[in-house]
């Protein structure tokens, strides 16, 4: 493995930081097709490189429920129905959801009382829903359109490198 962690400076713009993160993720996942191994490394990279996160991880679809996958942060909710919470809504709508204040989101599931904002990106491969990437922050309004664009690219790198489990 020839992975080198990126150096993200405090003065780097979000798009530049995400570009460095995406390059690093591509190198990190190169040659490894295992979905769970790649999810573990992706969540660790995001958690340690992006500022102001208290949780970063995956939920994978099993029948009509999102089931906890690899993550970084405090213990989390294990199962989320598709009609509950930000993760369920993003999965059901197949759209990235940015929630500036989770306390104002109807049906929010409070796995960690310290979380104040959230972004969830669906994992779609050939129009098939595999799950979601979920990031939480203790900072209200932490996520924006730059994060959505950057994380959608992260998800695409993750999906391109990984072989889904049947």
CATH of the domain at 152: 3.30.450.40
pTM summary value:
0.91
111-121 b/e (C-beta count within 10 Å ≥ 16 → b) = bbeebbbbbbb
Residue 133 has a pLDDT of: 98
Asked if the structure places residue 2 within a domain, the reply is no
Residue 91 has a pLDDT of: 96
Asked if the structure places residue 9 within a domain, the reply is no
Extract the residue ranges of the chain whose pLDDT is less than 50.
1
Residue 144 has a pLDDT of: 96
For residue 90, count CB atoms less than 10 angstroms from its CB and return exposed for 0-12, middle for 13-18, buried for 19 or more: buried
Q: What domain count does the chain have?
A: 1
Asked if the structure places residue 1 within a domain, the reply is no
Range of the domain at 108: 14-161
Asked if the structure places residue 4 within a domain, the reply is no
Asked if the structure places residue 90 within a domain, the reply is yes
Asked if the structure places residue 64 within a domain, the reply is yes
Asked if the structure places residue 143 within a domain, the reply is yes
Asked if the structure places residue 8 within a domain, the reply is no
């Amino acid at each position: 493995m020839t992975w080198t962690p990126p150096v993200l400076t405090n003065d780097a713009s979000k798009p530049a930081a995400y570009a460095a993160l995406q390059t690093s993720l591509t190198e990190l996942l190169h040659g490894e097709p295992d979905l769970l191994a790649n999810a573990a490394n992706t969540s660790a990279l995001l958690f340690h490189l992006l500022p102001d996160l208290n949780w970063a991880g995956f939920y994978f679809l099993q029948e009509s429920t999102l089931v906890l996958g690899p993550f970084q942060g405090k213990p989390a909710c294990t199962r989320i129905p598709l009609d509950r919470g930000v993760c369920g809504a993003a999965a059901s709508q197949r759209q990235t959801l940015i929630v500036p204040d989770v306390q104002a989101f109807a049906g929010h599931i409070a796995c960690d009382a310290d979380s104040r904002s959230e972004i969830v990106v669906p994992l779609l491969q050939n129009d098939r829903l595999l799950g979601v990437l979920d990031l939480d922050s203790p900072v209200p309004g932490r996520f924006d359109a730059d994060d959505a664009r950057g994380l959608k690219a992260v998800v695409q790198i993750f999906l391109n490198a990984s072989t889904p489990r049947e």
